Amino acid sequence: MDTRIDPWRILNAGVGDIHVIRNAGALVTDDVERSLVLSQRELQTTRVDLIMHTECGVLNLDEAALNARLAEDGADPIRTGTFSDLEAELRRGVALLRANPALKTRSAIRGYLYDLSASNLRLVVDA
């Protein structure tokens, strides 16, 4: 979701080359898995690159404080998916995807960390 990241540029891809599924934290949610299943089963994509990044707003997010502010506005609390270890969360996300039998190419799921200050993409979990 981070506005500082252009997935097409960092993956050296053009319009029409890749599906980009984004959310706060790059978390593997039900809807991410739904989209990936459609990407692979209906549109024949053959790999998944899960990319998390440094300086992520979900990293160490204060969920209790956010939910207190939501409560003040009469809104229900949310689960933010906050995490404290970027690489551990990346490995967890890759493992979740690899465990999903609906994904056709589970052997081609990799995890990357994008370093915003260095503008570089580092492979953390190889296929």
Part of the chain binding Zn ion (CB under 5 A), chosen from 51-59, 76-84, 91-99, 104-112: 51-59
Please tell me whether residue 49 binds Zn ion under the rule CB under 5 A: no
Residue 80 CB burial class (10 angstroms; 0-12, 13-18, ≥19)? middle
Please tell me whether residue 28 binds Zn ion under the rule CB under 5 A: no
Rounded to the nearest 5 percent, the helix, strand and coil shares of the chain are 35, 15, 50
Please tell me whether residue 50 binds Zn ion under the rule CB under 5 A: no
Cβ-proximal residues to 119 (8 Å cutoff; 6+ apart), any chain? 10
Q: Can you tell me which of 27, 28, 50, 56 binds Zn ion, judged by CB under 5 A?
A: 56
Please tell me whether residue 2 binds Zn ion under the rule CB under 5 A: yes
Please tell me whether residue 51 binds Zn ion under the rule CB under 5 A: no
Q: Is-contact 116 5, C-beta < 8 A?
A: yes
Residues that bind Zn ion (CB under 5 A): 2, 56
